[in-house]
Amino acid sequence: MRAVLGSRGLGDVYKSQASALAPAPAKQHTALLTGTTKGKIAAAAALDQLGVSFSWGGGSAKGPTLGIGRGARTRGFDCSGLTLYAWSRAGVRLSHYTGAQFRQGRRIALRARRMGDLLFFGGGTGDPTHVALFLHGGLMIHAPKTGDVVRKTNFLTSSYFRTAFRGAVRPG
């Protein structure tokens, strides 16, 4: 089957399978073709959050929240809040800290990535400082920084993300 891509990603063409598998159906990207996986459910949940504000410390398994510190007045997600929310829709519990998520799941080679896998960036030799969900090709979805919104980015063509890449993890 071929995905029809719209301006928001996978579009409204997918309607049935993942909603039966996910604990709570996503608003718009409820299924991602035949053979729905937990990773596809997580990706669909993240795609439904496109345009939601970044909020430092924001996000929970239930969705966007008020953050802490710099995010105390903004309802939204930080990077690990978005990934923990997305994977919670697939029934997988993640910590709300990028460094902990880096250790939750199975490390995979970049060439073996699948939809929903977590991509980690930055942090030198310490814990990574940023996490995103892989979509397809070089595309990821993430909550980038204060003042920004949940968005898609091509990490393979970004000089920053290419050089800051730390690894990929498959939760669950």
The answer to whether residue 142 is catalytic is yes
The answer to whether residue 29 is catalytic is no
Q: 124's torsion region: left (phi>0), alpha (psi -120 to 50) or beta? A: left
- Write the DSSP symbol of residue 31: -
Q: Which of 29, 96, 130, 136 is catalytic?
A: 130
83: nearest Cα among 123, 38, 132, 39? 132
The answer to whether residue 130 is catalytic is yes
Supply 58's token pair. 């924001």
- Residue 69 CA to residue 27 CA, distance in Å, equals 29
Please give the positions annotated as active site: 79, 130, 142
